[in-house]
């Protein structure tokens, strides 16, 4: 099995030719914004889904899918339980990677950088916008911890819901909030025929982005 998307199944049927050095912007965030809007228009199941890879202090990796909740020149934001496995690993080793795979477009974006918690006020604002059930669940679930069974989780949810009442406020728990990944490298991958895929990577150096082409 190949480690390259497009090796099996799609075979670069789209054969887009626009990922060339003379046709991309100097700022990778502008290119990401354009690709993201195209992904949103492509009727994908969820174009915000991204793989987040972290590692513990010994370098042992783990990966999972999270949802992108915003991006700008400062980086890419997502939210989680700070006490989860990913939260603990980020706290111990604040370097991580993200991967977007948009199959219908035969495009992949790989991002590497440093992660820091976002300001508490921003986490408060986003938490308040979530459905009430999700807010209660954030209090009830000890994310990534071993629990006895499904019933244990459901009882915890019911007890938490009872504690807050039907209409009482559900504040953000201290163990839940957002992170921002500030990119130091962003690679754009686009499928092409004959495995001659396009790969352009932007690397940040001295506050500037340097563009390079990688062999597929």
**Residues making up the binding site:** 64-69, 79-80, 85-86, 108, 126, 130, 134, 143-144, 189, 195-197, 199
Closest CA to 198 of 25, 34, 22, 15: 15
Structural contact between residues 122 and 75, judged by C-beta atoms closer than 8 angstroms: no
Catalytic, 195? Answer: yes
Find the distance separating the first CA and the last CA of the chain, reported in whole Å.
16
Q: Residues annotated as binding site for substrate?
A: 69, 126, 130, 134, 195-197
2, 18, 19 from 216: Cα distances, Å: 12, 16, 13
Identify any residues that bridge with 146 across adjacent strands, giving them in sequence order: none
* Residues of the binding site for FMN: 64-69, 79-80, 85-86, 108, 143-144, 189, 199
Q: Of the residues 132, 145, 195, 213, which is catalytic? A: 195
Strands (E), the chain: 49-55, 61-67, 70-72, 75-81, 95-102, 107-117, 176-190, 198-205, 208-213
Write out the catalytic residue numbers: 195
């Amino acid at each position: 099995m190949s480690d390259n998307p497009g090796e099996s199944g799609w075979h670069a049927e789209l054969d887009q030719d626009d990922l060339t050095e003379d046709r991309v912007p100097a700022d990778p965030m502008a290119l990401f914004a354009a690709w993201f809007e195209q992904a949103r228009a492509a009727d994908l199941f969820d174009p915000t889904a991204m793989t987040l890879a972290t590692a513990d202090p010994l370098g042992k990796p783990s990966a999972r899918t999270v949802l992108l909740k915003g991006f700008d020149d400062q980086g890419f934001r997502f939210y989680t339980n700070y006490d989860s496995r990913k939260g603990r690993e980020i706290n111990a080793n604040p370097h991580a990677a993200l991967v977007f795979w948009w199959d219908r477009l035969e495009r992949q974006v790989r991002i590497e950088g440093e992660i820091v918690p976002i300001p508490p006020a921003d986490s408060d604002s986003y938490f308040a916008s979530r459905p009430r059930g999700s807010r209660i669940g954030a209090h009830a679930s000890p994310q990534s911890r071993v629990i006895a069974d499904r019933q244990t989780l459901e009882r915890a949810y019911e007890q938490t819901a009872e504690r807050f009442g039907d209409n009482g406020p559900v504040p953000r728990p201290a163990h839940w909030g957002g992170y921002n990944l500030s990119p130091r490298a962003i690679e754009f991958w686009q499928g092409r025929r004959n495995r001659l895929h396009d790969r352009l990577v932007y690397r940040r150096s001295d506050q500037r982005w340097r563009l390079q082409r990688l062999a597929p």
